Amino acid sequence: MRDVIIIGGGAAGLGAALYSARFSLDTMCIAKEFGGTGNIAHKVDNWIGDPGISGFDLMQRFEKHVKEYNVPLISDEVKEIKKIEGGFEVVGKETYQGKTIILAVGMKHRELGIPGEKEFAGNGVHYCYTCDGPLYKDKNIAVVGGGDSAALGALMLKDYAKKVSMLYRGEKLRAEPFNGEAVEKSENVEIITKVNVVEVLGDETGMTKVKLDNGDEMVLDGLFIEIGHIPLNELAKKLEVKLDEKGFVEVENDQSTNVEGVYVAGDLSNITGLKQFITSASQGSIAAQSAYHYIMKNK
Q: Where are the alpha helices (DSSP H) in the chain?
A: 11-22, 55-67, 129-132, 148-157, 177-185, 234-238, 277-297
Q: CA dist 163 to 40, 124, 205, 234, Å?
A: 22, 15, 21, 39
| Amino acid at site 272 | T
- Distance in angstroms (rounded) separating the CA atoms of residues 197 and 91: 40
Residue 254 appears among annotated catalytic residues: no
How far is it, in rounded angstroms, from Cα 16 to Cα 26? 12
Question: Cβ contacts of residue 54 below 8 Å, gap of 6+?
Answer: 41, 42, 43, 44
Report the C-alpha gap between 270 and 252 in whole angstroms. Answer: 9
Strand ranges (E), the chain = 2-7, 27-31, 73-75, 80-84, 87-91, 95-103, 107-109, 125-126, 140-144, 163-167, 189-192, 197-203, 206-212, 217-219, 222-225, 229-231, 262-264
Q: How far apart are CA 106 and CA 70, in angstroms?
A: 24
In the annotation, is 132 catalytic?
yes
Distance between CA atoms of 185 and 168, rounded to whole angstroms?
17
Give 114: exposed, middle or buried? Use CB within 10 Å, 0-12, 13-18, 19+.
middle
User: From the candidates 131, 213, 216, 244, which is the catalytic residue?
Assistant: 131
Is 29 one of the annotated active-site residues of the chain? no
Q: Which of 132, 148, 221, 267 is catalytic?
A: 132
User: Which of 26, 57, 76, 128 is flagged as catalytic?
Assistant: 128
Q: Among candidates 267, 258, 168, 280, which has minimal Cα distance to 213?
A: 168
Residues designated as active site: 128, 131-132
